Amino acid sequence: MVYWLLIKKINQLKLKNLFFLIFIIFYSCDIKEIECIDITNKYGNNGSYYFEWIRGIGEDNIAVGMVDKETFNQYVVGDTYCVDELML
């Protein structure tokens, strides 16, 4: 009888550990999608710095995004700029 209770308790602990492990895996895997653009133009004035890139198909779809001065100085036209979350 004691052996059976011990086995039952061990199985309960294994099941709890399995659920705990699954919980940690799902909540610790913060999936971040990296977005990249090819810089087609860059300009800055009055302390604001911008990159331009072609969005979608065709040159009429130009997008503009603001970056900080440090990022602005690290890239030249033609470079690929990647960020965790690109606000399109």
Q: Are residues 54 and 76 in the same domain?
A: yes
Residue 88 lies in a domain: no
Q: Does the pTM of the predicted model rise above 0.75?
A: no
Domain assignment present for 8:
yes
Give the H or E element holding residue 48.
strand 48-54
Please list, in sequence order, all residues whose beta carbon lies within 8 angstroms of the beta carbon of residue 49, skipping any fewer than 6 positions away: 42, 43, 66, 67, 68, 69, 71, 72
Q: Are residues 66 and 44 in the same domain?
A: yes
Residues 23, 55 within the same domain: no
pLDDT band for 61, please (50, 70, 90 cuts): confident
Q: By residue range, what is the domain housing residue 11? A: 1-31
Query: 39 and 21 in one domain?
Result: no
**Beta bridge partner(s), residue 54:** 62
Buried b (16+ CB within 10 A) or exposed e, 32-71: eeeeebebeebeeeeeebebbbeeeeeeeeeeebebeeee
User: Average pLDDT of 18-27?
Assistant: 58
Q: How many domains does the chain have?
A: 2
- For residue 84, what pLDDT band results from cuts at 50, 70 and 90? confident
